[in-house]
Amino acid sequence: MAIAVIMPALDVTQESGKLLGWKKRAGERVSKGEAILEIETDKAIVEVEAPGDGILAGIRAEEGAVVPFGDTIAWLVQEGEAVPEAQASVKLAPEYREEIRPEGAEMRVALPASGAHGRMRASPKARRLAQELGVDLDGVHGSGPDGEIQAADVRAAADAVQPTGGTVEPLGAAARIAAERTAQGWRSIPHFFVSRDLDARPLLALRDRLAPEIVQAGGVKPSLNDLLVALVARVLRTHPRVNARWVNGSIHHNPDIDVAIAIAVGDAVVAGIVRQADRLDPGAIAARRRELAERAQAGRLQPADISGGTFTVSNLGMFGVDSFTAIIVPPQVAILAVGRVRDAVVALDGRPEVCPMMNVTLALDHRVGGGRTAALFLADLAEALARPEKSL
Amino acid sequence: MAEQSLLEAIREGLHEEMARDPAVYMLGEDVALGGPFGVTAGLAEAFGTQRVVNTPISEGAVMGLAIGAAAVGLRPVIEIMFIDFITLAMDQLVNHAAKLHYMSGGQLKIPLTVRVQCGISGNMGAQHSQSLEAWLAHVPGLKVVTPSCPADAKGLIKAAIRDDNPVVFIEHRGLYWARGEAAGAGAAVTPIGEAAVLREGEHITIATFGRQVAAALEAAAELAPQGISAEVIDLRSLQPLDMDTLVESVRKTGRLLVVHEAVSEGGIGAEIAMRVQQAAFYDLDGPILRLAAPFSPIPASSALDRFFVPGKAEILRAVRGAFRRQGAGG
């Protein structure tokens, strides 16, 4: 029976995606899981896999076309089978929709902005233009009645971005969406930061012990960050508020612990998801991390790779950073910023000692918890780091 | 091209249709004498009192008689005088004229033209000044047209008479003596359901009909040198509405002001606003605006007219309000 190739919904806030190109031609035989086309949403460029085995036929969307999610764009048929008649667009099964729901689901909801009226007012046309021109309405001066942002204001803002001597670096869709989400996170989440210096010796020892075993077994050598991710995920089990979502004024505890790892791709950053990281051993996390990094570098991330994280770990240790603070990605409520392991003189048992130390800084959404929530999480993380073998 | 008044244009249209088609005849109080304002003057002399028939003062009876005549093949044009009096014929019009084609499964046609005049003019008070077009536009089976200029008055009365459905032809009394370019002998009919873009603009669409068309054009002319380019649309047909023209215009300008002399609540403006926002929401650069009479009976005092008739000043105020810059006065 013919299988429909459906434009997948990558983002519940969007209605369509752009078909970048077919990787297979009509008449070509494809097998389930093989990448057959590439699409671009304002979140990312992703490959779409063949939903089954068959011969690609009845292609209905050309390269460059903007296609509503749920539309059938081609068919996989068997030898000698005809392409089914055109039919109404197919609704995605609810579970599929759920699976690919991104964490930034309410990203495009009208955002409150500072101003005399407390709320930013923008006309429907202004909002549409802002989206089309990639203008952040938050920075636009509204010239209409009561400061309403009108279409002309958006056009002026877009024009103002034109070069006045320097050069303009245009952003791709993925980078723009990342910028938008970061801005939204910073605007809407009341961040606060709690830091702790941790003794890195047990972590280093653990890596030295595990790495040879894993490598010998043909696995990927775990980094310190992979180990940290494994420990953080386990600590999150007893800190549900730190692994929660903030949705419409209430705290939603996430059923799973899916840790997002910030991966630098050029000047951009991508958050790759390690699903159920609390159930994966360091070797599995390392393998997943390498897979994500390779796909990110190649621009081949799948929807499932980048959607649905419940907590983020960002590590700048490899760049020599001692400590830093990070911005929470909504609707997540926390992010852990990890610095490098560096030798420091610390007081141990009443004597100054040189000890490898690592700074971690938790940014937490103050709506889900206060200083105590953050401190207790870091205390448990310190405890897990001190005796990693107990939790791993 | 020669000029004529709107009243003369209607008369010319009636005359041409009566001469063209012997099935067309006229029925109403004093129509053989020319009617209260002289629209039908001379028709009885030209076509005889067999085709221009005076009736007793009984709107329901006139309407019922005309519906029966229409059902058997004549093309009656009746005059109800003030639209306020159409209430007396509403059962015949709404429950019979508008329904018979449908209820007979298409076997009956009711090619009936109902002439009424409306509007605030001459301080005639609460019972002789209303604009009830929205009542009529609310009835499936009726068409409602209203001209703003002599050429359309002639074109639309001819279209109404030739239409196989009941058409209510609304004449604004305040326009009867307004002069404009004459369509000329044998001019084409004005199709029902087509609005006219009388002035093209970029920044706001002013949709109106009847007497407010002239006010909108004057306002647009005054706004142009101030940098606001207004598009003026004369709806001409209120049922059906020419949504294609309206939506295309609003897509271009991003703004809409609807003006009518009927009271605001439940008026044609509300219907237009609803349908435009549905079709062009993401092209709207500001709320849809409406200028209409206050929700009140119409006073007889001439001193109060300016509060009830949206004119150039009110349109200018509304449009400037939509473009008022933050912090600017006015």
CA distance A134 to B7: 56
Tokens representing A378 are 């870091």
Same domain, A239 and A316: yes
Q: Does B324 touch chain A (CB under 8 A)?
A: yes
Number of neighbouring beta carbons within 10 Å of residue B291: 23
> Is B207 a residue whose pLDDT tops 60?
yes
CB-based contact A124 B281, cutoff 8 Å: yes
Same domain, A272 and A381: yes
- CA torsion, points B232, B185, B144, B220, in degrees to nearest 10? 10
Which residue from A127, A128, A144 is facing B286, i.e. has the nearest CB?
A144
Domain check: are A16 and A134 in the same one?
A: no
Check residue B318 and give its pLDDT: 94
Determine, yes or no, domain membership for A171: no
Q: Mind listing the pLDDT tens digit for each residue in A354-366?
A: 999 999 999 999 9
- Residue A162 in this model has a pLDDT that exceeds 70: no
Q: Tell me which H or E stretch contains B214.
A: helix B212-223
Residue B325 has a pLDDT of: 58
CA-to-CA dists, residue A383 to A235, A386, B56, angstroms? 9, 5, 103
Least Cα distance to B150 among B59, B39, B296 occurs for: B39
The residue assigned the tokens 């429907």 is A124
Higher model confidence: residue A210 or residue A169? A210
Percent of chain B scored above 90 by pLDDT?
A: 92
d(CA A112, CA B85): 53
Predicted pLDDT of residue A42: 61
- CA–CA separation, A268 and B44 (whole Å): 86
Q: What DSSP element (H or E) covers B27?
A: strand B24-28
The confidence band for A48, taking pLDDT boundaries of 50, 70 and 90, is confident
Q: How far is CA A46 from CA A4, A7, A20, A38, A105, in A?
A: 19, 12, 9, 6, 18
Contact A145 B321 (CB under 8 A): yes
The owner of tokens 């400061």 is: A147
Question: In angstroms, how far apart are the furthest CA atoms of chain B?
Answer: 68
Note the pLDDT tens digit of each residue in A238-272.
Answer: 999 999 999 888 999 999 999 999 988 877 788 89
pLDDT for A147 beyond 90: no
pLDDT value of residue A93: 40
CATH code where residue A43 lies: 2.40.50.100
Mean pLDDT of A86-92: 44
- Chain B nearest-CA distance from A15, in A, is 15
The strand pair at A35-40 and A16-22 is best described as antiparallel
Length of chain A: 392
ipTM above 0.90, yes or no: no
Print the domain residue range for A66. 3-99
Cα–Cα distance between B3 and A46 in angstroms, integer?
Answer: 68
Letter string b/e over residues A223-236, b meaning 16 or more CB atoms within 10 A of that residue's CB: bbbbbbbbbbbbbb
Which residues of B carry out catalysis?
A: 59, 128
CATH number at residue A157: 4.10.320.10
pLDDT of residue B290: 96
Lowest mean pLDDT among A136-140, B16-20, B28-32, B206-210: A136-140
Domain boundary among A99, A129, A152: A99
Q: How far is A141 from chain B (nearest CA, A)?
A: 10
Nearest to A307 by CA among A90, A54, A8: A8
Q: Is the pLDDT of residue B17 over 80?
A: yes
Q: What band does A43 get if pLDDT is binned at 50, 70 and 90? A: low
- Establish whether the linkage from the previous residue to B297 is cis, with ω within 30° of 0: no
| Residue B128 confidence (pLDDT) above 60 | yes
Of A125, A143, A144, the CB nearest to B284: A125
| Interface contact B124, partner A, CB < 8 A | no
pLDDT score recorded for residue B315: 96
Is residue A267 domain-resident?
A: yes
Say if residue A186 is in the same domain as residue A67: no
Question: Strand, coil or helix: what is B228?
Answer: coil
- What is the pLDDT confidence band of residue B104, given thresholds at 50, 70 and 90? very high
Domains annotated for chain B, with CATH where assigned, are 3-181 (3.40.50.970), 196-323 (3.40.50.920)
Whether residues A201 and A88 fall in one domain? no
Mean pLDDT across the stretch A223-239? 96
Residues A345 and A238 in one domain: yes
Residues 6+ apart with CB under 8 A from B35: B28, B41, B79, B81
Average pLDDT, chain A: 84
**Given A67, A99, A131, which residue is the final one in a domain?**
A99
Report residue A114's pLDDT band, with 50, 70 and 90 as the boundaries: very low
CA angle (A127 as vertex; A121, A132 as ends), nearest 5: 155
Which tens digits make up the pLDDT trace of A268-312?
788 899 999 999 999 999 999 999 999 988 888 888 888 889 999
Strands B237-239, B143-145: pairing kind = antiparallel
Mean pLDDT of A18-41: 85
Residue pair B322/B286 in contact by the 8 Å Cβ criterion: yes
Question: Residue B229 to residues A95, B200, B224, B225, B313: CA-CA distances in angstroms?
Answer: 52, 8, 5, 9, 17
- B173 and B309 Cβ atoms separated by less than 8 Å: no
Tell me if A306 sits within 8 A of A329, measured CB to CB: no
Q: DSSP of A313-381, one letter per residue? A: EEE-GGGT---------TTB-EEEEEEEEEEEEEEETTEEEEEEEEEEEEEEETTT--HHHHHHHHHHH
Residue A19 lies in a domain: yes
Between chains, do A144 and B321 touch, taking CB under 8 Å as contact?
no
| pLDDT recorded at residue A105 | 32
Rounded Cα distance between B130 and B101, Å, is 29
Inside any domain, residue A381: yes
CB contact under 8 A, A151 and B321: no
Among A123, A125, A143, the residue with its CB nearest the CB of B326 is: A143
- Residues in chain B, overall count: 330
* Structural domain includes residue A276: yes
B181 touches chain A (CB under 8 A): no
User: What residues contact residue B177 under an 8 Å CB cut-off, 6+ apart?
Assistant: B5, B6, B7
Q: CA-CA distances (angstroms) from residue A260 to A195, A310, B81? A: 20, 7, 77
Residue B52 and residue B31 in contact, taking contact as beta carbons nearer than 8 Å = yes
**Whether residue A9 sits in one domain with residue A66:** yes
Average pLDDT over residues B119-141: 96
In this predicted structure, what is the pLDDT of residue B326?
Answer: 45
Residue % of chain A over a pLDDT of 90: 44
Q: If DSSP codes are grouped into helix, strand and coil, which group holds residue B315?
A: helix
Give CA–CA dist B169/B161, Å, rounded: 10
Return the pLDDT at A117.
38
Confirm if A240 and A255 have CB atoms less than 8 A apart. Answer: no
Q: What pLDDT, on a 0 to 100 scale, did the predictor assign at position A98?
A: 36
The whole-chain average pLDDT of chain B stands at: 95
Do A89 and A147 lie in one domain? The reply is: no
pLDDT tens profile B273-290: 999 999 999 999 999 999
- In the stretch 282-301 of chain B, residues with CB closer than 8 A to chain A read 282-286
* Cα angle, residue B127 at apex, residues B126 and B132 outer, rounded to 5°: 95
Q: Identify whether A20 is part of a domain.
A: yes
* pLDDT of residue A90 exceeding 50: no
A230, two tokens: 């494994």
Question: Which of the listed residues A49, A75, A99 is the one where a domain comes to its end?
Answer: A99
The span from the CA of B145 to the CA of B198, in Å, is: 17
Can you tell me the mean pLDDT for A168-179? Answer: 74
Beta bridge partners of A252: A245
Which residue in this structure is represented by tokens 């802002």?
A130
Backbone angles phi, psi at A312, to 5 degrees: -120, 140
What is the rounded CA–CA span in Å between residue A253 and residue A246? 9
- Does any domain span residue A105? no
Question: A276 and A303: one domain?
Answer: yes
- A58 with A120, same domain: the answer is no
Q: Which SS3 state, helix, strand or coil, does residue A72 take?
A: strand
Query: How many independent structural domains does chain A possess?
Result: 3
CA–CA min distance A309, chain B (Å): 32
pLDDT digits (tens, 9 = 90+) for A124-133: 999 989 988 8
Q: How far apart are CA A161 and CA B328, in angstroms?
A: 26
- What is the C-alpha separation between A270 and A263, in angstroms, rounded? 5
Do A124 and B321 lie within an 8 Å CB cutoff? Answer: no
Of residues A126, A146, A147, nearest to B285 (C-beta): A126
What is the torsion angle, in degrees rounded to the nearest 10, for the CA atoms of residue A222, residue A225, residue A228 and residue A230? -50
Comparison of pLDDT for B223 and A50, the residue scoring more: B223
Candidates B285, B317, B325: best to mutate against A (most CBs of A within 10 A) is: B285
- Can you tell me the distance from the alpha carbon of B158 to that of B16, in angstroms, rounded to the nearest whole number? 8
A152/A182 same-domain check: no
**Range A189-211 average pLDDT:** 94
What is the pLDDT at residue A27?
A: 87
Residues A262 and A188 in one domain: yes
Task: List chain A residues with CB under 8 Å of B323.
Answer: 144
